[in-house]
Structures are given as C-alpha cells and as structure tokens.
C-alpha cells in the first residue's frame, strides 16, 4: 500500500509540475492538472497569482520537469522492467534521455535556476557558483581548509586499499 501511495503522490506532483511548466501560473496549473476547463483560473481574475512570464525561464522549467519525471522513472526502472511495462531497450532510452538533458540544456540552465532563488554564495557555502567566476582558486582554498585533508589516511587504507590503487595504476 505504501508503494501505491508513493506512486500516486509522484503522479500528482508530476501532473502539477507539467501543468505549471506549460501555463506558467499556479492557478492555471492547478486547474489544468485537475482536468478543469480553465474556469477556476478565470474566476480568480487577472493577476491573481504571479506567473512565470519569461519564455526562456519557462522553457528551463519545462526541461526541469522533464528531468524530474525521467529521473523518477529511472529510479523505479526495476519495477517497470519486472512487470514488463518497459522493455530493456526502453529502459536504456530513459537513461539516455536523462543523460542528454543533463549534458544538454540543463547544464546551462543550472546557474539560472539556482540564481532564481537569489541566495548569496556564502549562504550556500558555494565555491563553484561564485559570481566573480573565480571558482578554481576557491575550490583549492576550500580543500586546503577542509578538516578531511588535515590528517593522514587511516591505517586500513595503507594496508587494504592502497595496494588496489597501485595495482590499478599499473594497468
């Protein structure tokens, strides 16, 4: 029962996400996701809910919605394959689509989608999303200050894992 409830929640979330991505407003998305004819959004009046007006931002949200849906599907591929809802070839298509979205447009959208929240770099403790673009030096400085780099590897590493690293390096 828990899995059915989780699947229903995901389907509802995706329905609203895609409805918003196509309309750009919360009221219209709720009406659209509920299968309405637009009366709820019209009854609310013009300007009732702030919407997403920028076409480039709306396109980024559509791609994000698609990535979310595909990544949820990818996470449950075992269930879909076991019950023969998808073939192994179709499962490969899902993985390829996720990779294509990440490597394609969403890579460029990532900064804009994060900047939309208008959080300062120091709030995020971000070294990569620096406004000045000097991320490489910031990553190096952060690594130098990290407590993880302040001590030698544990004894187990030297005896168990290091031989594996050196053997792999010889290959």
Give the range of the structural domain holding residue 127, as residue numbers without chain letter. Answer: 122-171
The per-residue pLDDT for 47 is: 46
Paired tokens of 162 = 């290091």
The per-residue pLDDT for 50 is: 57
Asked if residue 103 lies in contact with residue 92, where contact means CB atoms within 8 angstroms, the answer is no
Q: In whole angstroms, what is the distance from residue 133 CA to residue 100 CA?
A: 26
How confident is the model over 28-75, as pLDDT tens digits?
556 655 565 555 444 444 444 456 777 777 888 888 899 999 999 999
Distance from the Cα of residue 50 to its chain's centroid: 23
Question: What average pLDDT does range 4-24 have in this prediction?
Answer: 87
Same domain, 73 and 93: yes
Same domain, 78 and 148: no
The per-residue pLDDT for 36 is: 56
Same domain, 115 and 161: no
Same domain, 116 and 126: no
The per-residue pLDDT for 44 is: 46
Same domain, 56 and 80: yes
| Number of structural domains the chain divides into | 2
Question: What average pLDDT does range 136-159 have in this prediction?
Answer: 80
Same domain, 150 and 163: yes
CATH of the domain at 16: 1.20.140
How confident is the model over 98-110, as pLDDT tens digits?
999 988 878 778 7
Q: Is pLDDT at 160 greater than 90 in this prediction? A: no
Same domain, 6 and 57: yes
Q: In whole angstroms, what is the distance from residue 5 CA to residue 66 CA?
A: 22
Asked if residue 33 lies in contact with residue 16, where contact means CB atoms within 8 angstroms, the answer is yes
Tell me the torsion sign for CA atoms 83, 86, 88, 94.
negative
């Amino acid at each position: 029962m828990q899995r059915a409830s989780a699947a229903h929640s995901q389907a509802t979330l995706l329905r609203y996400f895609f409805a918003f991505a196509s309309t750009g407003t919360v009221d219209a998305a709720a009406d659209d996701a509920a299968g309405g004819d637009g009366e709820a959004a019209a009854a609310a009046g013009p300007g009732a809910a702030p919407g997403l007006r920028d076409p480039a931002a709306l396109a980024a949200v559509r791609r994000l919605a698609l990535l979310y849906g595909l990544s949820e599907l990818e996470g449950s591929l075992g269930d879909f394959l076991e019950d023969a809802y998808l073939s192994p070839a179709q499962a490969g298509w899902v993985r390829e689509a996720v990779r294509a979205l990440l490597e394609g447009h969403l890579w460029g959208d990532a900064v804009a989608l994060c900047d939309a929240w208008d959080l300062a770099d120091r709030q995020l403790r971000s070294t990569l999303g620096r406004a000045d673009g000097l991320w490489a030096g910031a990553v190096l400085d952060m690594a130098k200050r990290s407590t993880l780099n302040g001590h030698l590897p544990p004894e187990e590493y030297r005896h168990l894992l290091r031989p594996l690293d050196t053997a792999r390096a010889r290959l």
